[in-house]
């Protein structure tokens, strides 16, 4: 039996699956997302709607799959011989031309790739709303938030037992990074979560610990950004200023270092919620996140009381007005309310309410 026949005969089934916000709705789909965000589970769940003899599933991350033996001619012949209706290329690197098939679904962590006639959808680690659907044991919203803030949004971690989740996180990260230097660079970015820093400063910190060149660091950094494992947020209208570092899963730092900083983790959490829905997102001197096209600001302040917040905002209003801001969301962990100062509308809102109402 040749490779394609072996794959054709292999049964696939999710041991457990919960609905995600992203659905496969088009016959030609590229499903992009960071590693471990749930792309494969989404595809396998989709395939369960069809008879097994209607589809062929190929996972290019499977070490048993020798990609050199999969050619366009072989695929076309196989699809025609077995009347394949759905071809799935999981973890595809776009290294060969696609065969003719009624329906083709591609998963990849290469964001830049696009094919004519294909709809491109993005899937990320669980947001808080999806996390609630995954957690079947807790019903108190604040308790759910506490668990979410510690576990993060990687589905395999969320479904893992509470004990020793750092071991599970480490295992998943090591699966993503086969190269030790790339792993150490990613770990350094995690340690710098929600911090303003330049790549040169990161290079200076790393070069005393590992043998590394600036070019290699810059190349790895760009690759991490392309795969959306890290995000480097720009300062508004200051291209040369230091960027702010955010990680694709806000809790992953807890599995890689003993250094914990809830405020920075909370800021990363808010960033990920914003990133998926705001196109023009920056930071500024006194605002964690500036949404340019809405003239809105977002400030992460989980614990500060309303009266203290009013005083703090008053001291920064000249900056807000210079950006023509009309609305500022202050994301909290319980405090709520509204006030208006100098024609700026301020809303204090708990994280869970802010997420679920938007």
Of the candidates 264, 296, 262, 263, which has an alpha carbon nearest to the alpha carbon of residue 277?
296
Per-residue pLDDT 10s for the chain (358 aa) are 589 999 999 888 766 767 889 999 999 999 999 999 999 999 999 999 999 999 999 999 998 998 888 889 999 999 999 999 999 999 998 988 899 999 999 999 988 778 899 999 999 999 999 999 887 677 799 999 999 999 999 998 988 877 789 999 999 999 999 899 999 999 999 999 999 999 999 999 999 899 999 999 999 999 999 999 999 999 999 989 999 999 999 999 999 999 889 999 999 999 999 998 888 999 999 999 999 999 999 999 999 888 889 999 999 999 999 999 999 999 999 999 999 999 999 999 999 999 998 7
**Would residue 155 count as lying in a domain?**
no
Q: How far is CA 315 from CA 126, 238, 255, 286, in A?
A: 37, 23, 38, 10
**Would residue 139 count as lying in a domain?**
no
CATH (domain of 7):
3.40.50
pTM over the 0.85 mark: yes
Strand partners, 230: 247
Q: How many domains does the chain have?
A: 2
Residue/partner pairs of 148-152 with CB below 8 Å, 24 or more apart:
149/250, 149/251, 149/262, 149/265, 149/266, 149/269, 150/251, 150/254, 151/251, 152/125, 152/249, 152/250, 152/251, 152/252, 152/254
DSSP letter string, 174-230: HHH--SHHHHHHHHHHHHTTT-EE-HHHHHHHHTTTS---HHHHHHHHHHHHHTTSE
Q: Residue 345 and residue 339: Cα distance in Å, rounded?
A: 6
- What was the pLDDT predicted at 13? 78
End residue of a domain, out of 68, 89, 122: 122
Reading the block at residue 283, the tokens are 């930071």
- What was the pLDDT predicted at 112? 78
- What was the pLDDT predicted at 216? 96
- What was the pLDDT predicted at 256? 95
Q: Residue 294 and residue 300: Cα distance in Å, rounded?
A: 18
**Would residue 99 count as lying in a domain?**
yes
End residue of a domain, out of 67, 96, 122: 122
Q: Residue 182 and residue 212: Cα distance in Å, rounded?
A: 10
User: For the CA atoms of the chain, what is the radius of gyration?
Assistant: 23
**Would residue 62 count as lying in a domain?**
yes
The answer to whether 149 touches 140, Cβ cutoff 8 Å, is no
Helix (H/G/I), strand (E/B), else coil: 154: coil
Q: Residue 268 and residue 302: Cα distance in Å, rounded?
A: 13
**Would residue 314 count as lying in a domain?**
yes
Reading the block at residue 356, the tokens are 């679920």
Cβ atoms < 10 Å from Cβ of 67? 14
Q: Residue 244 and residue 229: Cα distance in Å, rounded?
A: 14
Supply the DSSP symbol for 280: S
Strand partners, 231: 246
Q: Any residues with CB less than 8 A from the CB of 58 and at least 6 apart, and which?
A: 4, 7, 65, 70, 87, 88, 89, 90
Strand partners, 59: 90
End residue of a domain, out of 69, 92, 122: 122
- What was the pLDDT predicted at 272? 97
**Would residue 159 count as lying in a domain?**
no
CA torsion, points 16, 123, 109, 256, in degrees to nearest 10? Answer: -70
The answer to whether 151 touches 158, Cβ cutoff 8 Å, is yes
**Would residue 237 count as lying in a domain?**
no
* Residue numbers of the domain that contains 85: 3-122
Reading the block at residue 72, the tokens are 């366009």
Q: How far is CA 214 from CA 178, 224, 313, in A?
A: 20, 15, 40
Q: Residue 285 and residue 270: Cα distance in Å, rounded?
A: 18
- What was the pLDDT predicted at 17? 67
**Would residue 189 count as lying in a domain?**
no
Phi then psi dihedrals of residue 59, to 5 deg: -105, 110
Q: Residue 128 and residue 177: Cα distance in Å, rounded?
A: 26
- Considering only the C-alpha atoms of the chain, give the largest distance between any 2 of them, rounded to a whole number of Å: 75
């Amino acid at each position: 039996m040749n490779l394609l026949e072996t794959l054709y005969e292999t049964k696939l089934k999710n041991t457990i699956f919960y609905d995600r916000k992203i659905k496969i709705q088009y016959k030609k789909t590229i499903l992009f997302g960071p590693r471990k965000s749930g792309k494969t589970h989404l595809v396998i769940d989709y395939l369960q709607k069809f008879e097994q003899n209607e589809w062929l599933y190929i996972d290019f991350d499977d070490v048993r799959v020798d990609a050199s033996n999969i050619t366009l001619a072989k695929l076309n012949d196989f699809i025609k011989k077995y009347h394949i209706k759905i071809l799935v290329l999981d973890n595809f690197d776009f290294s060969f031309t696609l065969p003719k098939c009624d329906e083709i679904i591609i998963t990849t962590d290469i964001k830049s790739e696009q094919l004519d006639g294909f709809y491109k959808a993005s899937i990320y680690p669980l947001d808080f709303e999806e996390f609630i659907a995954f957690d079947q044991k807790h019903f108190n919203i604040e308790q759910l938030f506490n668990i979410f803030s510690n576990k993060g949004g990687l589905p395999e971690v969320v479904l893992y037992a509470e004990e020793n989740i750092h071991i599970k996180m480490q295992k998943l990260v090591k699966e993503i990074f086969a190269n030790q230097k790339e792993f150490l660079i990613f770990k350094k970015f995690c340690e710098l979560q929600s911090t303003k820093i330049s790549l040169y400063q990161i290079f200076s910190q790393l070069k005393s610990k590992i043998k590394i060149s600036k070019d290699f660091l810059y190349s790895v950094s760009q690759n991490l950004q392309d795969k959306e494992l890290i995000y480097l947020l720009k300062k508004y209208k200051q291209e040369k200023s230091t960027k702010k570092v955010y990680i694709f899963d806000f809790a992953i730092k807890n599995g890689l270092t003993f250094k914990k900083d809830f405020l920075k983790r909370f800021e990363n959490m808010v960033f990920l919620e914003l990133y998926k829905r705001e196109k023009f997102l920056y930071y500024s001197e006194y605002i964690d996140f500036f949404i340019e096209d809405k003239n809105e600001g977002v400030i992460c302040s989980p614990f500060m009381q309303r009266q203290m917040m009013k005083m703090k905002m008053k001291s920064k209003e000249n900056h807000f007005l210079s950006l023509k801001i009309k609305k500022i969301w202050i994301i909290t962990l319980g405090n709520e309310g509204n006030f208006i100062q100098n024609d700026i509308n301020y809303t204090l809102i708990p994280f869970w309410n802010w997420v679920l109402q938007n």
